[in-house]
């Protein structure tokens, strides 16, 4: 039997692949390599280059490889891009997930673990950590496209012998501590990636979007979770589904946040680089503060993070960014 990872050549997917190999699982990856890289997939793993929206391909792989679980990471993830290209997001994140789900039902795949997002909540009403039972009011096509897939999963699991975990990610950052993979997309927009690029002179400066928010230092607050702790949570979710068959929707975050300026300070301190930081206007669509209530994942899965430390997250992100420079030159 094997485990299928869609988007396994991408940032989070490639960490998942390594986590599964570490656990002794057989892994097969489907990735169309639009933002991922074939070299990010370990040599011992079969990479099927193709689109999860291709019914023939997704119909074939689960049957031929005896797939017993699917980790579905493939999708589009840039919030502002989803505002200008909503139909592209509904296609990639909703329509293609439907095709994959149908193939899983047809092939009798019992377990499905889905990459969802804190964007399903929209802007929380208070600065308190947001729990899973909070109102679901996505404010972008990205968030809605993911929420639609959560809904499809719920309804499909009620009708067919398939169970699922929807994991709602907060701000994923960092890289494999052993240096095997990391965030490799050169034009990524995420704060820690951008700041590490500035620290290593891969960009001339970075911007801080908005300094007049109602927070202690005026910048937005986010719950940054190390990608290794995130993929550990996924593996625990699989073990939970295998053992209990109980569906689960859970936040993935640590339960506390850091401001943009705190992140910038840590990147400067850890890298020893005094890169230029320009204060800029607010970025459209940014919520002031989004922090996870992580009680459910800790209680239901016994999840214990190992890297709940911004310095470690930044150190691993910097190490990977540095390794990428050597790969590119
Ligand atoms: N930021 C900067 N400068 C940059 C990049 C980001 O100041 O160059 C700021 C943003 O304005 C924001 C914070 O850093 O205040 C975090 O921004 P990111 O782009 O790193 O991440 P987001 O919080 O916008 O988005 C992330 C995920 C989404 C998910 C969302 C849910 O990328 O997929 O969290 O909270 F939907």
pLDDT in tens, 212-250: 999 999 999 999 999 999 999 999 999 999 999 999 999
> Residue 205: what are its φ and ψ, rounded to 5°?
-160, 170
pLDDT at 178: 97
Q: Biggest alpha carbon distance in the chain?
A: 57
- Give me ligand 1 centre to Cα 197, in Å: 15
pLDDT at 190: 94
pLDDT at 79: 87
- Ligand 1 atom nearest residue 194's Cα: 8
Among 90, 9, 95, 83, residue whose Cα is nearest residue 52: 95
- Reported ipTM: the value is 0.96
The whole-number average pLDDT for the span 117-125 is: 92
> Is residue 98 within 8 Å of 152, Cβ to Cβ?
yes
- Give me ligand 1 centre to Cα 209, in Å: 10
Q: Tens digit of pLDDT for each residue in 55-65?
A: 999 999 999 99
- Give me ligand 1 centre to Cα 190, in Å: 6
- Give me ligand 1 centre to Cα 252, in Å: 16
* pLDDT over 90 at 124, yes or no: no
Question: Chain-wide mean pLDDT for the chain?
Answer: 96
Q: CATH 3.40.50.720 occupies which residues in the chain?
A: 2-173+224-252
Is the backbone of residue 246 left (phi > 0), alpha (psi -120 to 50) or beta? beta
CATH topology of domain 2-173+224-252: Rossmann fold (3.40.50)
* pLDDT over 70 at 263, yes or no: yes
The whole-number average pLDDT for the span 284-304 is: 94
Among 29, 13, 20, 111, residue whose Cα is nearest residue 65: 29
pLDDT at 284: 80
Q: Please tell me the CATH code under which domain 191-222+255-328 is placed.
A: 3.90.25.10
The whole-number average pLDDT for the span 164-184 is: 98
pTM value > 0.90: yes
pLDDT at 127: 78
Token pair 């599964």 in the structure block, residue: 20
- Ligand 1 atom nearest residue 117's Cα: 36
* pLDDT over 80 at 287, yes or no: yes
- DSSP 8-state assignment for residue 236: H
- Ligand 1 atom nearest residue 263's Cα: 14
Using alpha carbons, list the distances in angstroms from residue 40 to 44, 164, 184, 217, 248: 12, 26, 9, 38, 29
Cα–Cα distance between 161 and 121 in angstroms, integer? 28
* pLDDT over 70 at 329, yes or no: no
* pLDDT over 90 at 328, yes or no: no
Q: Would strands 248-252 and 27-31 be described as parallel, antiparallel, or unpaired?
A: unpaired
* pLDDT over 70 at 286, yes or no: yes
* pLDDT over 60 at 72, yes or no: yes
DSSP 107-141: HT--EEEEEEEGGGG-S-SSSSPBPTTS-----SH
Question: Which amino acid residue places its CA nearest to atom 7 of ligand 1?
Answer: 208
Burial of 220 (0-12, 13-18, 19+ CB in 10 A): buried
Q: CATH 3.90.25.10 occupies which residues in the chain?
A: 191-222+255-328
Q: Is 142 a catalytic residue?
A: yes
- DSSP 8-state assignment for residue 15: H
- DSSP 8-state assignment for residue 211: S
pLDDT at 80: 86
Site residues for ligand 1, CB cut-off 6 Å = 77, 79, 117-119, 170-171, 189-191, 194, 206-209, 220, 222, 260, 283, 286, 290
The residue to mutate among 81, 171, 189, 224, having the most atoms of ligand 1 within 8 angstroms of its beta carbon, is 171
Number of H helices, E strands in the chain: 11, 14
pLDDT at 322: 96
Cα–Cα distance between 79 and 84 in angstroms, integer? 9
Q: List the catalytic residue out of 89, 142, 213, 224.
A: 142
- Give me ligand 1 centre to Cα 76, in Å: 15
- Ligand 1 atom nearest residue 143's Cα: 36
Question: Which amino acid residue places its CA nearest to atom 3 of ligand 1?
Answer: 208
């Amino acid at each position: 039997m094997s485990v299928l990872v869609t988007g396994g050549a991408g940032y989070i997917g490639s960490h998942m692949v390594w986590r599964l190999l570490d656990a002794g699982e057989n892994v097969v990856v489907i990735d169309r390599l639009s933002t991922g890289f074939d070299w990010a997939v370990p040599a011992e793993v079969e990479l099927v280059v193709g689109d999860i929206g291709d019914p023939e391909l997704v119909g074939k792989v689960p049957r031929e490889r005896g797939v017993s679980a699917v980790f579905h990471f493939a999708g589009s993830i840039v919030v502002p891009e989803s505002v200008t290209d909503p139909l592209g997001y509904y296609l990639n994140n909703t329509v293609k997930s439907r095709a994959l789900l149908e193939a899983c039902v047809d092939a009798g795949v019992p377990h499905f673990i889905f990459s969802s997002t804190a964007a399903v909540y929209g802007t929380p009403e208070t600065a308190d950590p947001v729990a899973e039972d909070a109102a679901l009011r996505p404010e972008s096509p990205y968030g809605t496209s993911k929420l639609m897939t959560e809904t499809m999963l719920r309804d499909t699991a009620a009708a067919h012998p398939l169970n699922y975990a929807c994991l709602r990610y907060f701000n994923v950052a960092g890289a494999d501590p052993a240096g095997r993979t990391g965030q490799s997309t050169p034009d990524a927009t995420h704060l820690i990636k951008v700041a590490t690029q500035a620290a290593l002179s891969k960009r001339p400066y970075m911007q801080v979007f908005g300094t007049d928010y109602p927070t202690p230092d005026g910048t937005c607050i986010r719950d940054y979770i190390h990608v290794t702790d995130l993929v550990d949570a996924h593996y625990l979710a699989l073990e939970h589904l295998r053992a209990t068959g109980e569906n689960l929707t859970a936040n993935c975050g640590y339960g506390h946040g850091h401001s943009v300026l705190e992140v910038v300070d840590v990147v400067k301190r850890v890298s020893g680089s005094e890169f230029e930081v320009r204060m800029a206007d607010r970025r459209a669509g940014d919520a002031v503060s989004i922090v996870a209530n992580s009680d459910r994942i800790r209680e239901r899965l016994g999840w214990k993070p190992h890297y709940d430390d911004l310095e470690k997250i930044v150190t691993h992100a910097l190490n990977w960014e540095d390794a990428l420079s050597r790969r590119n030159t």
